[in-house]
Structures are given as structure tokens and as C-alpha cells.
Amino acid sequence: MAFSGDASHKPVAEPPGEAPSLTVLLPTYNRARSLPRSIESVLAQTRRSFELLVSDNASDDDTQQVVEGYATRDARVRYHRQERNLGPIGNFNWLLGEARTEYVLMLADDDWLDADYLERCMALMEADPSLANVAGATRYYEGTAPRALVLNTELMEEDGAARVVHYLAGSWSSAAFYGLMRRSAIVPALPIPNVMGADWLFVAGVAYAGKVITTSDTHLNRARGGASASFDRVAEISGLSGRQARHPHLSIIWFVLVDIARNSRAYADMTGPRRLLLGLRAAAVLVRHHAFDLLWDTVGPLVLHRRIIHITGPLRDRWRERHPL
């Protein structure tokens, strides 16, 4: 799917008397070159009724001119420029707090949607009130390599606590963060804390409120190597502590525990002991399913030390070839 970036889309007015029930949220920072592809993939949707809200996190490139050009030509586009950079999580929280429609979808500024993404996800969501999150399958692109398809998240248990544990025991895919969500499921999970694994904490909170599915009939398209390409990069752009960068998985386990047991409003209907028990269950399942990651956080920097990287580097590369993402 390619976009020219020439902003030739024609304005489409909302039907008289019909307010959109969906807001697409697009946080951005210094992505003027890739932003047109993301915006145009939204404006080209087969479902025409929506609002696109772009939050510019105080960019110092041509982002403002790019978005204002689209807003001039299409009444569905609304642009807001932050006075100062809020950090990625701060920008997410601002956008999620600003949305007032029944349904909300977040789109990264270097990702793009299939043309039927909103139509297909909304059809599933509107047909099943038990759903809190519906996402299309994710297609990853990296240079000239064949695109990789990831089906992401399927959490259909009737019990909210079971969905949380199932999600955290899985691949920790953050793609559901960019799924179509009910605002009623989002609000209790706000604000998203600025910690390592923040998107996973948020998705877990949404999953507690309702079921999560992935449809293979449409796709979220993502380019590898973005802001979340590595834990070090996440820590750098989010202003996290060096300890979280050095021990990301241990940090995530700790934050999952305290978020469920004490901090998040998403679990407010549970008694204190039940919240603590769910937090301990979630932490335990993370330790069990990600024991190697915890070990690697500690020994990895030693194994890949510059003095022995010429020996250990090829071994690491061979392991990655046999265990692709």
C-alpha cells in the first residue's frame, strides 16, 4: 500500500445531523516525511465517518505545515500542537483524554492502515458488546525483506482477570494498543504511567474491561525500527531511569504488580486482596514465561562485551536466525 504524500484528498462532509462515533488519534513528533502516509491511510478509509485528531508533540520540523495542509482540505482533520514536548506517554494520555467519541483508535505516525480497517473493526465491535478491543493483523515491513504477518492478540475468556493473565503470558505484543477500542474501557485505564512496558499495562487494563480479538481480514501496517525498536530506545525517548533500561523485564514485572494491585483504576471493582492476588498471579506468569529474558537482561551485556563480541556476536546472530520474531 503506497501513498504519494501529495495531499490530494477531497473534503468529505459528515451526513447532516450525524456526529462521528469514532476518533482516530495520531500522536507525532518530527515525522513530517512519514506522516502523510499515515494520514492518507486514514482519510482513504471506506468508513467515512470519523474524526482524525493529530497531536504534534512540539516538533521542530515541517510537521505543522504538513498537518495543517490536510486540515484545510478535510474537515475531519483536527490539529493540536503541544506547547512543549510531553514525551510519548504524555502525548498518548493527552490524546486519549481528549477523545469524546464512543470508539477510539490510536495510530503511530509511521504506521498505516488498510483502506477497510475502520469498517471491518467497527463491524465486529458493533456486533458484539462484550468486545473492548478489535485489531487487524499486523504486517511488518523492513527494507526489501518479505513482509512478516503477526496475528497478535486473542483474549476471549469470560473472566476479566483471566484475560489479563493470558495477555501477559503471551508475546507481549503491543499491537492491541493500536486496535479499535471502546472509550468506556479506556477511561478506567488512564492515565498510562510513564514506565517501561506502559503500553502493556494499558492493554491489560483494557482487556480487564472486555474481550480482545484480532481479525485477519484487514491489516495494520508497521515499519520496523521505530521508537519502540529496543528497550534502550524506549528508555531514551521516554526519559526513563537507567535501571529500567538495564533491567527492562524485571521493571515491567514490578510495574505490572503495582499497577494491578494498587495504582490502576481499571481494577477498581476488585477488593484489595483480590487485586493483590491478581497482581501476584500476573507477576508470576511473567517470570515463568519470560525467564530467559530476565536472565539475558543480566548476562547479555557481559556476553556481548566488546572484548568478546567477535566470538559471541556470530552465535547471537545464528540464534536470531533460528528464532525469528
* Bridge partner residues of 136 (DSSP): 215
- Directed axis angle between helix 272-289 and helix 291-303, to 10°? 50
Q: Is residue 49 located within the same domain as residue 143?
A: yes
In 3-state terms, what secondary structure has residue 290? coil
What pLDDT shows up at residue 31? 94
Asked if residue 76 is part of any domain, the answer here is yes
Report which residue type is found at 12: V
Q: Which of 204, 223, 242 is the last residue of a domain?
A: 223
- Using the 8-state DSSP alphabet, how is residue 15 labeled? P
Q: Which of 223, 241, 267 is the last residue of a domain?
A: 223
Asked if residue 78 is part of any domain, the answer here is yes
For β-strands 180-182 and 112-113, DSSP reports them as unpaired
Q: CA–CA separation, 67 vs 56, rounded Å?
A: 9
Q: Is residue 174 located within the same domain as residue 87?
A: yes
Report which residue type is found at 79: Y
Pick from 238, 220, 219: nearest CA to 228: 238
Q: Is residue 314 located within the same domain as residue 214?
A: no
Q: Is residue 177 located within the same domain as residue 52?
A: yes
3-state secondary structure 204-271: HHHHHHCEEEEEEEEEEEEECCCCCCCHHHHHHHHCCCHHHHHCHHHHHHHHHHHHHHHHCHHHCCCC
Output the pTM of the full model: 0.84
* Bridge partner residues of 26 (DSSP): 54
Q: Is 82 exposed, middle or buried (0-12, 13-18, 19+ CB in 10 A)?
A: middle
Q: Is residue 180 located within the same domain as residue 311?
A: no
Distance in Å from the first CA to the final CA of the chain = 23
Asked if residue 74 is part of any domain, the answer here is yes
Domain ranges, residue 47:
22-223
CATH number at residue 125: 3.90.550.10
Q: CA–CA separation, 289 vs 141, rounded Å?
A: 27
Per 3-state DSSP, the chain is made up of helix, strand and coil in percentages (nearest 5) of 45, 15, 35
- Using the 8-state DSSP alphabet, how is residue 147 labeled? P
**Contact (Cβ atoms closer than 8 angstroms) between residue 208 and residue 274:** no
Task: Note down pLDDT in tens along the chain; length 325 residues.
Answer: 444 344 444 444 445 556 899 999 999 999 999 999 999 999 999 999 999 999 999 999 999 999 999 999 999 999 999 999 999 999 999 999 999 999 999 999 999 999 999 999 999 999 999 999 999 999 988 776 657 777 778 999 999 999 999 999 886 567 889 999 999 999 999 999 999 989 999 999 999 999 999 999 999 999 876 555 567 778 778 888 877 878 888 899 999 999 999 999 999 999 999 999 999 999 999 999 888 888 877 776 665 556 666 666 676 666 556 544 4
Asked if residue 109 is part of any domain, the answer here is yes
Number of domains observed in the structure of the chain: 2
Asked if residue 4 is part of any domain, the answer here is no
Report which residue type is found at 261: A
What pLDDT shows up at residue 205? 97
Q: Which of 195, 223, 251 is the last residue of a domain?
A: 223
Asked if residue 38 is part of any domain, the answer here is yes
